[in-house]
Each structure stands twice: as C-alpha cells, then as structure tokens.
Structure 1
Amino acid sequence: MSTQSTSSTADILRSSAELRYQEELRRLQETDKDQRPQGWRLSPRAVRRFILGDEALGVSRKFYGDDPLVDRAVVTLMGHQGLMLVGEPGTAKSLLSELLSAAISGDSALTIQGTAGTTEDHIKYSWNYALLLAEGPSQRAMVPSPLYQAMVAGKIVRFEEITRCPPEIQDVMISLMSDKQVMVPELGDQARVHANRGFNVIATANLRDRGVHEMSSALKRRFNFETVRPIRDHAFEVELVMRQVQRDLGSANASVRIERDVIALLVTTFQELRAGQTQEGTAIKTPDTVMSTAEAVNVAYAAALEACYLGDGRLTPRELANQLQGVVLKDNADDLKRVQHYFDTVVRERARRDDNWKAFRDAARALWP
C-alpha cells in the first residue's frame, strides 16, 4: 500500500500539483466549455486560468512572472515541438512544468531526472530480469520509463535538468521526439509503440549549467525555448514572498507575526545582490550563489520558524540575518566577503535612517565579525 493512501494530505510535506489543487482542477473541468486539444483534460484557456488564477472561480495564482510566457508554453505543447524552459536557478521552471503537466494531463509524476548517471534505459525502458529469464521478452517483463508511459497514455512527460545528462543520452530524445514512437526490438511483432494524442515533452535546463553538457543542434530543433526570468518588480516580489511564507506557515500550523517592511528589506537585499546594483544606482559585487525569489522564500520561512519556536513569535531582521548565512556560505568563500561589503556600505548607510536596516546590520555584524 502506498504512503499516499495511508497518510492524510495534511501530513504530506509536498503533494503533487494535481492533489494540492484537485478542487480547483475539478471546478475548472466542470465550467470548461472551450475546445480541448485531443488528449487534454482542460482547454488551453482553462490551463491558463489554472496557472495564472481566476478569482471568479476561486482559482489561485500559482506562477508569478511573465504571463505571455505561459501562453506561449501552452501553445507550444499543442504542437509538434517540445517545450524547453531555461533560466537561472530558482526561477520556478520546475514548478511551471509541474503545473502544466497537472492541468493538461492530470499527472505531473511522469518525470525523468537528468543526472550524470541517467542512461538510455531511464528514457526508454528496462527489464525485470527475473521475469525476462523465466518468460522471455514480454510486456509483463518490461519496466517502462516515464516517457514510455506518457507516450502510451497520451500525457506530458517532464525531463528535469536535461543538460546534466551526457550528450549521447540527450540525443536518445531526438528520434523519440521526431518519430513519436519507441522501438522495442525484443518484442517482435509488438516492437513499435506509438505515442497517443496528448503526448509531449517539457524539459528544463539551468543557465548556469549550460557548460555541463551543451545540447546538440539537432536536439535543440525539437524544442521551443522559453526563458524564465527572475522577478524584477519589487512590490510584486514582496507580495509573492509574503504569500508563500504565510501559506507554508499555515501548512506547518506555525503562528508568526510578519510585517511587510521586514519582508521588503529581505527582497531589496536579494534583488540588489542579484542585479549587482543598489536602488540608488550604486554598483556592487554580485555573489556567485543563487539569490533567487525561491531562496528568499526559503530564508523568510526559516527565519519565521526561528521566530516562532525560538523567538517571541514576531519576525524581525535579526532572524533574517541569521538565516541568510545558509544562502551565502555555500560554494565560494569570496561570497561572504561580497555580502559583508554590502552590509558595510549599503546597509550601513540605510541603518542611519531606518530601524529595520539598523537591526539587520547589527545582527549581521554579530554573526559575521
């Protein structure tokens, strides 16, 4: 029996999108009168509403950023080419691919995780060798990959971090995406498996990993590329971080008082270090570590938990400074110097005029002497 069936949804740390938003998907299906492509559970308009929100139906917004990008992604998945989402780490590429798969196919679990150890078997199929030896090649002895299952069921398959796979493994996808079929020579008359309507591929690639394994030109031609960019609107990002942190705290049954000015301070810090420029136009050194919106949410959530369980239940700049260490101290030792310089110059100047920035600087000085 699966863990999913023995645990309540509230006990699961992170359920799939189709489970988290099953009520929203049900409402969208019931009210969806628009034309649907073959194999799709929702019409393109309903898929868009699921991702970008619909207040009238009580559907929440789940992806924040470039709305036209969502439209282009939906259109791409109706066609013959796959969708390639590229961008900096933490820009919600995987989240967008999950949401698209949940809305279109009702199943976001058909996923291949690209790694240096990904093999052709992970992309096509493998065998249960006990059954293979006992019965010979058969459908029963076959272990189909997520891509194979998606072809048979007419669903979306997700290929995460495709550029982490060796080039020869990446190129296995070329014929699969062109011919829309898998050849299984061992099965004789049943050797050819065709993809059903609704099948397509959403792949993601990290811009910082482009040098790991560059995609071949032939494989690139099988995809439409869309770049998911960091959020630049300050007020928009503040609202997003606050909503996400409050949602996570609600799931954890943790009560914390969060002031908007404190979250705005965190977002300002992340945006300036990410862009290499302050709001006043002063150039600063950018750390190598990822300063994404997702990381800002992680810092704010960890700081809120610290305030809840180790503090007085109010999120302050002290907790933010404390949790910021986990973001800065990762790969490059010089990142600490760059962030210290930011505190010694930009934060120091603002601390003269603002109590929150003063508390932020004082806490950082105690942590990073």
Structure 2
Amino acid sequence: MTTPSSPGTSSPAAVLRPHAEQLHADELARLAEHDDRPRPPGWRLSPWAVTTYLMGGGLPDGSEVTPKYVGPRRLMEVAVATLATDRALLLLGVPGTAKTWVSEHLAAAVSGDSTLLVQGTAGTAEEAVRYGWNYARLLAEGPSERALVESPMMRAMRLGSVARIEELTRMPGDVQDTLITILSEKTLPVPELNTEVQATKGFTVIATANDRDRGVNELSSALRRRFNTVVLPLPESADDEVEIVSRRVDQIGTALELPETPAGLEEIRRVVTVFRELRGGVTGDGRTKLKSPSGTLSTAEAISVITNGLALAAHFGDGVLRAADVAGGIVGAVVQDPVSDRVVWQEYLETVVRERPDWRDFYRACREVS
C-alpha cells in the first residue's frame, strides 16, 4: 500500500475518493503556515489548528477553512485534547454519526497520514494489529527483520503517527486484547526476534465503535480503561442534518461529476425530514406519533439516497433532482424487513405524507415504487 507521499500514489484528481490529507492539502498547508500555537511532539498542527480544520473558520489571510464536522465544537475539542495526552480515543455512536469521517480527518490533521488503518471484522486476525510474516522468507531464512511484515499499528508506532481502528467491537476479544500492551506500555514486543518496537512521540490510536454492536464483542474493562470515549450524537436539528447531507453530496457528486445539488435542496430536506420523523417516532410538529422501522435511517443513508437520486436525475432525467429520483432509495432504506417495515412505511405514507399539500408529488412517487 502506498502512503500519500509515496511516488506511486495517484494524484487526488485521478482517484475516486482521495484521502483527507490529499483532498484538503491546501487547507492543511495554510493552517500550518498561520499556526503559531504550541504543537504536541510529532504533530503537524497545534490542537487549536486541528479543531479549526474540523469545525471550519477564518484564517488571518482572509481565507476560509471548510467545516468537516457539523456538531458541538466541544466534542471535537475533547477528542483533540485526548490525542494530545497518552490516552487513545474511542469514537462511539450509532451508524451514520460520522465516526469514520472524524477519525480520518483527525489523523490527517495530526500526522498528515490517515491510511494506517486496521479494519475490524469478525475475521480480523491478531497479525492485523501486531505483525505478520512473509512465509517464503520465514521458511528460507527463519525469523528475521526481512521476513517481518509490519501491521499499520507497528508502522504508526515507528513513525510516530496516528493508527486508526475501524469497528473495534467487531474484532474478536483476543484480538482486541493485543492492544492492551501497545496502549499501556507504548511497546510492541517481537519475541521471535528477541526485540520490541517502542512508539515514537506522536503515536496514538483512534478507534471507532458502533454502540448498536454492544454484546457482539464487548471491550474488556482493561481495554476500555485505556481509551477516552467521545460519543458522537445524531445531528441535533434538521437544519444541521440538511447541511451535512448537502456538503457530503456536493463532495461525492463532484468526484462522480454529477449535477450540483442546490437545485435539489427541497428533496434533500424531504429525505432528512422522513428519516428524522421515522427514527424519532414522531412527526416534526410533535402531533403524531409514529412507528419506527427496524433500520437506523442514519445521515449516511440519507447521503446515499440523495447521491443515488442525483445519478438517476443525471442519466435518466433532466439533471434536476425530483421526488421520483429519491422515492426508490427512501423505500429501500426504510423497508429493511419486508413484513413489519412495509406496514410502518405504508402507515407513514398515508397518515403523514398524504396530508402535506406541498408533498403531493413526493406522495405519488413513493406510491408508485411502493
């Protein structure tokens, strides 16, 4: 795998999804230029500049830093302050609360490299966290430095960078526990070579976990004590969620060369309204209680629905996002269980959507695909 600074890395304009440090290289460079505050050892920016990169703001040269996270600033300040200590950071929340997004941008701002990533799954092996072996060399030469294959964690320790772990609670318990020595002693023993890797200043770990996965592979108390936990909430208001969806769809749409989103702002607000009402179990005015479907109906799913609608509008319509372009995506997101969720959706459609005069086109489109 190549890092952002490697010669073999494609230019950001040529890849489908550039890493954060590639996509926002100009902003990071401008922040570094104007950043005169103290920086923790190994950090590219000060904690203040890292928070500004995440939350957005103005710089002395009159330029603006675009916000990467829309939500309480204090949460980001706590997360950044945690990384400036010897504690690891655990970002916890329901699906779609931007845990991975925040993790990537934190790593990009702190160490300039968000690619040192361990993806947690039920099949993640211990070697993904510690190290592995090139078995051809191992058989030919025996245990040696040349036969050792570094994990992203080991590489981050050597370089003094941020290591990221996605879906920590999806990893088996015995694999999780390999982190205890790394996080407490900042050391990774390699007994086969009678040596160890000691973390360089700047090394830290950011992990994410879905709080709906509780009971899958619970963190041991010993491991949990080594993390500071920051819970990322769902967007507080509909306006915040509309802003988040609009920004992300703009970015994705630009990469895919889809139509710009301002023309579809009405549909974005409708999708966000439907998702918020169904997952909250009540209409926006608080007058009608609703049944909630089995799915999460997260902000990430709203982004997916709108992006898919833009593709439909671009390739099979007139380029303007309309109700018919998002209806199919909404139904697919809501009706996860074909029996119970379909009842919930039909009830919402007939008792809420049908009664909104300015939603008639949306009602007809949803009826057609339902």
Same fold judged by TM-score > 0.5?
A: yes
- Cα deviation, residue 82, structure 1: 0.8
Q: Is the 8 A contact 2:16 2:256 kept in 1?
A: no
* Cα distance in structure 1, aligned partners of 2:202 and 2:40: 8
Give every structure 1 segment of 4 or more consecutive aligned residues whose post-TM-superposition deviation is greater than 3 Å.
Answer: 1-8, 329-333
Q: Is the 8 A contact 1:234 1:267 kept in 2?
A: yes
Q: Is the 8 A contact 1:83 1:226 kept in 2?
A: yes
- Cα deviation, residue 216, structure 1: 0.9
- Cα deviation, residue 260, structure 1: 2.8
Unaligned runs of 5+ in 1: none
Residue identity in the other structure for 1:16 = H
Which residue is equivalent to 1:54?
57
Question: Equivalent residue of 1:97, what SS?
Answer: helix
* Cα distance in structure 2, aligned partners of 1:297 and 1:6: 28
* Cα distance in structure 1, aligned partners of 2:149 and 2:295: 39
* Cα distance in structure 1, aligned partners of 2:78 and 2:330: 36
Among candidates 267, 270, 275, match of residue 270 of structure 1:
275
Q: Is the 8 A contact 2:165 2:207 kept in 1?
A: yes
Which residue is equivalent to 1:120?
126
Q: Is the 8 A contact 1:93 1:228 kept in 2?
A: yes
* Cα distance in structure 2, aligned partners of 1:128 and 1:332: 47
Unaligned runs of 5+ in 2: none
Question: Equivalent residue of 1:237, what SS?
Answer: helix
Which residue is equivalent to 1:348?
354
TM-score where L is the length of structure 1: 0.93
Q: Which residues in structure 2 correspond to 1:206-245 (within 5 Å)?
A: 206-245=210-249
Q: Is the 8 A contact 2:309 2:326 kept in 1?
A: yes
- Cα deviation, residue 175, structure 1: 1.7
Residue identity in the other structure for 2:221 = S
Among candidates 161, 177, 184, match of residue 190 of structure 2:
184
* Cα distance in structure 2, aligned partners of 1:202 and 1:8: 26
- Is 1:196 aligned to 2:197, yes or no? no
Which residue is equivalent to 1:361?
363
Q: Is the 8 A contact 2:138 2:144 kept in 1?
A: yes
Among candidates 332, 335, 338, match of residue 341 of structure 2:
335
* Cα distance in structure 1, aligned partners of 2:121 and 2:90: 17
- Is 1:247 aligned to 2:251, yes or no? yes
Among candidates 171, 180, 195, match of residue 174 of structure 1:
180
Question: Equivalent residue of 1:62, what SS?
Answer: coil
- Cα deviation, residue 247, structure 1: 2.9
Q: Which residues in structure 2 correspond to 1:271-286 (within 5 Å)?
A: 271-281=276-286, 282-286=288-292
* Cα distance in structure 1, aligned partners of 2:323 and 2:224: 45
- Cα deviation, residue 337, structure 1: 1.9
* Cα distance in structure 2, aligned partners of 1:194 and 1:67: 34
Q: Is the 8 A contact 2:294 2:336 kept in 1?
A: no
Which residue is equivalent to 1:133?
139
Q: Is the 8 A contact 1:35 1:43 kept in 2?
A: yes
* Cα distance in structure 1, aligned partners of 2:338 and 2:155: 41
Q: Describe the superposition over 1:114-172 as per-residue Cα deviations: whole angstroms up to 9, x where unpaired.
A: 11111211110111111122222221110011111111111111111011111111111
- Cα deviation, residue 64, structure 1: 1.1
Question: Equivalent residue of 2:106, what SS?
Answer: helix
- Cα deviation, residue 46, structure 1: 0.8
* Cα distance in structure 2, aligned partners of 1:152 and 1:345: 60
Q: Is the 8 A contact 2:331 2:366 kept in 1?
A: no
TM-score where L is the length of structure 2: 0.93
Which residue is equivalent to 1:106?
112
Q: Describe the superposition over 1:205-229 as per-residue Cα deviations: whole angstroms up to 9, x where unpaired.
A: 1011112111111111010111111
- Cα deviation, residue 91, structure 1: 0.8
Residue identity in the other structure for 1:360 = F
* Cα distance in structure 1, aligned partners of 2:12 and 2:107: 20
Among candidates 43, 55, 69, match of residue 40 of structure 1:
43
* Cα distance in structure 2, aligned partners of 1:246 and 1:112: 28
Q: 1:168 to 1:247 in 2, by over 3 A?
A: closer
Q: Describe the superposition over 1:316-344 as per-residue Cα deviations: whole angstroms up to 9, x where unpaired.
A: 11211122133124456422221221111
- Cα deviation, residue 358, structure 1: 0.7
- Cα deviation, residue 243, structure 1: 2.7
Q: Describe the superposition over 1:71-103 as per-residue Cα deviations: whole angstroms up to 9, x where unpaired.
A: 000011111211111101011100101001011
Among candidates 9, 12, 21, match of residue 12 of structure 2:
9
Q: 1:26 to 1:338 in 2, by over 3 A?
A: same
Q: 1:325 to 1:194 in 2, by over 3 A?
A: same
* Cα distance in structure 1, aligned partners of 2:151 and 2:10: 27
My pick for the range that moved more, 309-318 or 331-340, is 331-340
Question: Equivalent residue of 1:10, what SS?
Answer: coil
* Cα distance in structure 2, aligned partners of 1:309 and 1:122: 41
Q: Describe the superposition over 1:50-69 as per-residue Cα deviations: whole angstroms up to 9, x where unpaired.
A: 11112333321111112111
* Cα distance in structure 1, aligned partners of 2:247 and 2:85: 35
Q: Describe the superposition over 1:17-66 as per-residue Cα deviations: whole angstroms up to 9, x where unpaired.
A: 11111111111111111110001111111111111112333321111112
Among candidates 21, 26, 30, match of residue 29 of structure 2:
26
- Is 1:154 aligned to 2:156, yes or no? no
- Cα deviation, residue 6, structure 1: 6.9
